[in-house]
A and B are shown apart, each in its own frame.
Chain A
Amino acid sequence: MIALITCCLKLGGPSSLRDIRNLYLDQSRIRAEIGYYDAIIANGQQLTDSYLEKEPDRQRYTILLPAADQQPEAIGNLEKLICSGPGRLLNMRVNEKSDYGSYSAQNISIRIGSLKAFPDNLISQLEHFPHLLIIEQIEWQAGEAEAGALNLSLSLYFLN
């Protein structure tokens, strides 16, 4: 008889109560997750509208601040732009990259010689470069005939 009672107590004792408690905790966790997804689904139309509205901006900023893996292509495009510009490219150096956490800056120094005048067009083209390119420093020296020289220090930015 005592053995039977002990067996019943074991079956319906603390372990079962612990199971019930765990099941309740599980359920409340799942319900909270469902609530989170419900809120997202309820907000779905607004999110979609906002996305469609901001899509042109998003595409523009994706080009403006490209991912780090697009660095070779971006530097290649800059090289083409500089080489097709006025004067003679004397030196183009890609310096060490600076990491700022969420983004990084690639410093590039350029030296162009044989310039007849100040290269307004080149500066304008650099300003309208599709990727975020900031002219950090500029030094232009006029010279006799075509001896003018331009030193530029640029930073090309990438998203990490």
Chain B
Amino acid sequence: MSSVAGERDFLPTAPIENLRLRAALLEAVRAFFRDSGYLEVETPLLSADATIDPNLSPFVTRYLHGNSELYLQTSPEFAMKRLLAAGHTAIYQVTHAFRNGEIGRLHNPEYTIVEWYRVDDTYRQQMGVVEELVRHVFMVSRAKAGASKERAQAFTTSRPFGRLSYKEAFERHAGFDPLTIGLEEMPKIAASRGTVPPPGLAADDRDGWLNFLLVEMVEPNLGQNLPEFVYDYPSSQAALARIRRDDPPVAERFELYIRGIEICNGYQELTDCEELRERIRECFPDSSSTMKRLLNSRLIDAMEAGLPECSGVALGFDRLVMLAAGAESLAEVMPFPFSRA
């Protein structure tokens, strides 16, 4: 390690009071789910299955005497859905997720994820669960010595969190309807703002353009006064969420933003196995090994057997602690981020 810190690299990057807060909030999360009737589960970090999201890169490894690749989970989604298919009704876990190549102020390749599912809940009901959880966590944070008044005020408001659709978020902050806008309009909007698009952004990459304008124009304004949900995403960004056949269709997904930072991702879960197969075929090039693996995954088998209607949420625990601590980067609330792992 050639860092300036040199021999001091053994030290944690997070101050001890932040690690104390982290421990208290971890307890608070567990208490919240226990009291809400969720069962804590543990599933393998190392799995033969990996994500369907083509924008995620898993860490790949092998068993010493095995032939096939194994993956460090990018989330416990597959395994937890297998538990739901086997009869569980309300489950949660606090575990580690791994995402190769993702590093920055708000990203660490290994991080702590809180993920939960409840059968028969809708994604709208689960927005309520997220709101209760986040309130509970900030209440515990405020009660801890060291939580500054200013910070506490910002998060302990009794006003309901904001809720706006993806369409409304773009209309409010970027001035256009993201579901219907023509491809040729988005470069003009970027130009009128004086922002230069990424050089490799193809003219026909609709989701790429939406993503770029989301980061440039929308995200920085989200959740600035009050935590704010964004819901009903373009159907092309559904991942494993159910698509509602509105005109135009939308993916029943939501995210929570606090001060421009994305905190969680929730779905009305896709339960139709045939539709999942179609999405896998669309996402990955013909007969690629990834496509074959996904089509043979145990998630497919579980959904074939019957995944009950349910909603699930994945939440970035480190980011929540960061906000509660008034910190600016994940390194301030993790003992050993990637550079010191």
Binding partners A and B: no
Interface residues of A (CB under 8 A from B): none
